[in-house]
Structure 1
Amino acid sequence: MKKDISIIGVPMDLGQSRRGVDMGPSAMRYAGMIERLESLGYNIDDCGDIEIGRPERDHNGPKLKNLKAVAEANEELAKAIDKEINKERFPLVLGGDHSIAIGTLAGVTKPYKNLGVIWYDAHGDLNTAETSPSGNIHGMPLAVSIGIGDSALTNIAGFGPKVKPENIVIIGARSLDKGERELIKEKGIKVYTMHEIDRLGMTQVMNEAIAYLNERTDGVHLSLDLDGLDPTDAPGVGTPVNGGISFRESHLAMEMLAEAGILTSAEFVEVNPILDDKNKTATVAVDLAGSLFGEKLL
Structure 2
Amino acid sequence: MSFNYLQPGKPAVFKDRFTTKVTECIKPYESGDRGAVGILGLPASKSSISMSMAAEAPQAIRKALGSYSTFSATKNHDFKDDVLIDFGDVSVHPTDVEATLDRLHVSVGEMLETEACERYIMLGGDHGVSFPSIHAFQKKFGRVGILQWDAHHDVRNLDDGGRTNGTPFRSLIEGGVIRGEDLVQIGIRDYSNAAAYDDYCEEKGIHVYTMDDLDQQGILQVVEKELQRLADQVDVIYLSVDMDAVDQAFAPGCPAIGPGGFTSRELLSSVRAAAMHEKVKAMDIVEIDPSKDVRAITSRLAAHVMLRFMYK
TM over 0.5: yes
Aligned residues: 267
Task: Give the deviation of 1:5 after TM superposition.
Answer: 2.3
- Structure 1 unaligned blocks of 5 or more: 56-68, 148-159
Q: For residue 47 of structure 2, what is the amino acid of its counterpart? A: G
Q: For residue 230 of structure 2, what is the amino acid of its counterpart? A: L
Contact 1:84–1:91 (Cα < 8 Å) also in 2: no
Q: Secondary structure at the match of 1:265?
A: strand
Aligned to 1:66: none
- Structure 2 CA distance for partners of 1:185 and 1:24, relative to 1, 3 Å: same
Comparing 118-127 with 87-96, greater Cα deviation is found at: 87-96
Give the one of 202, 212, 217 matched to 1:200. 217
- Please give the per-residue CA displacement for 1:31-60, whole angstroms capped at 9, x wherever unaligned: 0179767945432221211112432xxxxx
Aligned to 2:84: 44
- Structure 2 CA distance for partners of 1:234 and 1:119, relative to 1, 3 Å: same
Task: Give the deviation of 1:245 after TM superposition.
Answer: 1.2
Aligned to 2:108: 81
Identify which of structures 1 and 2 has the higher relative contact order when contacts are C-alpha pairs closer than 8 Å and 6+ apart: 1
How far apart in 2 are the matches of 1:293 and 1:230?
24
Comparing 74-83 with 41-50, greater Cα deviation is found at: 41-50
Aligned to 2:132: 103
Q: For residue 44 of structure 1, what is the amino acid of its counterpart? A: L
Aligned to 2:27: none
Task: Give the deviation of 1:70 after TM superposition.
Answer: 2.0
Query: How many percent identity over aligned positions?
Result: 26
Aligned to 1:170: 185
How far apart in 1 are the matches of 2:88 and 2:107?
10
Report which of the two has the higher share of helix. 1
- Structure 2 CA distance for partners of 1:202 and 1:44, relative to 1, 3 Å: same
How far apart in 2 are the matches of 1:27 and 1:194?
28
Aligned to 2:4: none
Q: For residue 256 of structure 1, what is the amino acid of its counterpart? A: A
How far apart in 1 are the matches of 2:100 and 2:157?
19
- Structure 2 unaligned blocks of 5 or more: 1-33, 71-77
Structure 2 length as normaliser, TM-score? 0.80
- The structure with the largest alpha-carbon Rg is 2
How far apart in 1 are the matches of 2:84 and 2:163?
33
Q: Secondary structure at the match of 1:176?
A: coil
Q: For residue 76 of structure 1, what is the amino acid of its counterpart? A: R
Contact 1:81–1:91 (Cα < 8 Å) also in 2: no
Q: Secondary structure at the match of 1:267?
A: strand
- Residue 26 (structure 1) aligned with residue 59 (structure 2): yes
